[in-house]
A and B are shown apart, each in its own frame.
Chain A
């Protein structure tokens, strides 16, 4: 078979390495994301100082917990070869609705549950559109995005403040885990713990359950997966439900930290989450990627904002350009990997 011999064009010395690499080709983009993250930390420490510190890294996690949760949800969807553009708008609707209900006297925890379920409902709607009405995921979730944003705006167009004594604020309360010198403490919030639980659960589902493996199989070839007798339709429904539910959860975590909700919250977050997932090594065509990579991707984006703030010289407007640049590098890297795989 000529397809095999073409891969043997490596220089002799590097052959063994190349072979190892080709066996683990899928992990290459994720490894690159980790390398970039470490590189940014090293550069940040060298150039600005005070990066490798408990409080800086704690804040990085606290401020990006919601993005990590979103990125985990999108990892599921993107692994099947789909996309979910509605997550940012779902956060807006869910958080505005939740805070207004709490202020109207609902039991706060019931409202929190409803916030999560709003996400579930949006995800289920996207899933039905994609799976049963054969709407392109891009279009289906775009429709859900406009719907969510519109509903949020109908509810309120001003910031809805969470009452100062609301028990939901406790989800954003900082817990000192380790008391370092001065303010250099290890601090966590329940939001960070929720994000960590989500990540671990997602990892378990994707790597240790048949449903998770079906997600990967669908991304590899949906037709093959169906012919293998795997539950393709149900699994595709599930990934959108998971993504929607996690958006609802992210809305809870974010609202608890900020203490207010607004209809313009979360504009562009779906793109941040997609960027985090892609930077973390998940192929947009589906079938390859890791949920831990998406976490690293989210942290890369978060750390970049920290570094830009620290630098002071870079105008904040340039942030998106840098994000775009990093994204481009990763997409090109993935194309190279895909090209190798096709060989």
Chain B
């Protein structure tokens, strides 16, 4: 690729929010016909930089040049006039309108009698066709499309705006492997048409598959710009987290498993099940051990967790805890028996956006005490201080609304919330989904430490490799039932678990590939 002139040149960009310097003299160059990936941990300033380029945030210092001309971007409309289009992680289209309208909104074909709908729909159809979406009927309602296709429609929309620069902010986080491939085909064809593409993703494989150039940010500072082929993954990660790569690898190569005591299990379920959710299952949880739940999406992982926590009532089976019969039929009863459950749905079932970090942290403790006995402020502060520093929540400001924290830090607060209840059993459903690799490593390390301290952890993740790495024992689920229970250690790997799932029953080949794809992400 010849070193042509950059179409976008951001230099010395600084943006401050009250109390935080979000960006400190950051630079970014985008070249036509190139896919440029912006890398960095959650909270490194990627979103802020993008919002500076799309005109959502005003820059305090620095300069944005587009095609060599210095530009002041005062709003999203300004950025679009400058040829910069953005596709966000959440699909930002209007689901009450048709596909064609969403593509053409603001660019409808107009004639003497106002908008010419026939021509507008035709133009929408042509645009969709160019991106390989010719099978879509522009007159169909957008809401009838799956999310992934809506994402592609959003990209078609930016094509109508004649964009020269396309920003894709984590477009793949809710897509499956096939959909990602479809998206990449579209991205490549746009790149070949000379569009400069800025891509943001947490998935390293995707980054290496698609991008030509990388810019790394860390803590709001510019870390460097590299050609993708000049930087291997380990180097990239260490640039992102500013730590030695070996720290990560040590976790990977965890050889010695914790030795399980022969004492009776802390929690033992015999034949618990619930119609439509999970078939009858036996599961034991011991002190000081991490039990992993592995299985495909929809194999019943979350359902089993909810059953153990009492969020759903089991139809069958019985539970003993510490050798006595236990009736866990509601979350309150589970909490009383010191079982804590951190949900996979961080945004809707986890954090309360507008409350502060402190209020979010003490929520579960307060819930256990009941509303009539508020936790004294001194105790609150003690709890908050303990977990904010133990988990490394950044920024360490307990009064900051949690919605202003990055996903990884929100997850740490949630983990702290449940740890503050001093549970014996901690159920973590997808604690590391959608967070960056640095925060992920920290959480994994912390969870391992918890088990060393005698906690019993039930760990759920759709990344089978992560389950393998984290767990002392792995329960494999498929189609809402348990198909195997494996001791962790030598010989158990993501691949062997995939084989267990694949060989079970008829070995549905599509399921098999789905696992492999999931493993690779």
Contacts and interface: CB of A to CB of B under 8 A. Distances in A.
B466 interface: no
Interface in B312-345: none
Interface stretch (A104-112, A159-167, A216-224, A263-271): A216-224
A177 interface: no
Contacts of A225: 94, 105
Nearest to A225: B94
B148 interface: yes
Contacts of A288: 96
Interface centre among B77, B88, B96, B114 (most CB of A within 10 A): B96
Interface stretch (B139-147, B222-230, B266-274): B139-147
Interface centre among A22, A213, A226, A230 (most CB of B within 10 A): A213
A226 B54 CA distance: 12
A223 B146 CA distance: 20
Interface stretch (A56-64, A133-141, A203-211): A203-211
B86 A227 contact: yes
Interface string B54-98: 000000000000000000000011011000001010001111110
Interface residues of B, number: 29
B18 interface: no
B96 A219 contact: yes
Given A217-B94, A221-B92, A287-B94, A23 B140 contact: yes
A210 B97 contact: no
B114 A220 contact: no
Nearest to B120: A213
A287 B96 contact: yes
Contact of B106 (A1, A216, A228): A228
Nearest to B143: A341
Contacts of B141: 22-23, 25-26
Given A1-B147, A3-B146, A224 B101 contact: no
Given A208-B113, A209-B114, A213-B115, A227 B76 contact: yes
B84 to A, nearest CB: 10
Contacts of B105: 213-214, 217, 225, 228, 230
Interface string A1-16: 1011001000000000
Interface centre among B101, B114, B148, B161 (most CB of A within 10 A): B114
B268 to A, nearest CB: 33
A181 interface: no
Contacts of B95: 220-221, 341
A208 B147 contact: no
Contacts of A259: none
A284 B332 CA distance: 38
A231 interface: yes
B76 A229 contact: yes
B157 interface: yes
A78 to B, nearest CB: 13
A218 to B, nearest CB: 9
Contact of B148 (A1, A7, A204, A226): A1
B204 to A, nearest CB: 25
Contacts of A26: 96, 141
A204 B115 CA distance: 9
Interface in A120-167: none
B146 A4 contact: yes
A227 B88 contact: yes
Interface centre among B108, B110, B141, B144 (most CB of A within 10 A): B144
A265 B148 CA distance: 54
Contacts of B77: 229-231
B86 A220 contact: no
A220 B95 CA distance: 6
A227 to B, nearest CB: 5
7 contacts: A213-B101, A213-B108, A217-B94, A219-B96, A221-B95, A229-B76, A229-B77
Interface of A: 1, 3-4, 7, 22-23, 25-26, 204, 207-210, 213-214, 216-217, 219-221, 223-231, 287-288, 341
Given A204-B114, A231-B77, 8 more contacts: A23-B140, A207-B115, A210-B110, A221-B94, A228-B157, A229-B161, A288-B96, A341-B95
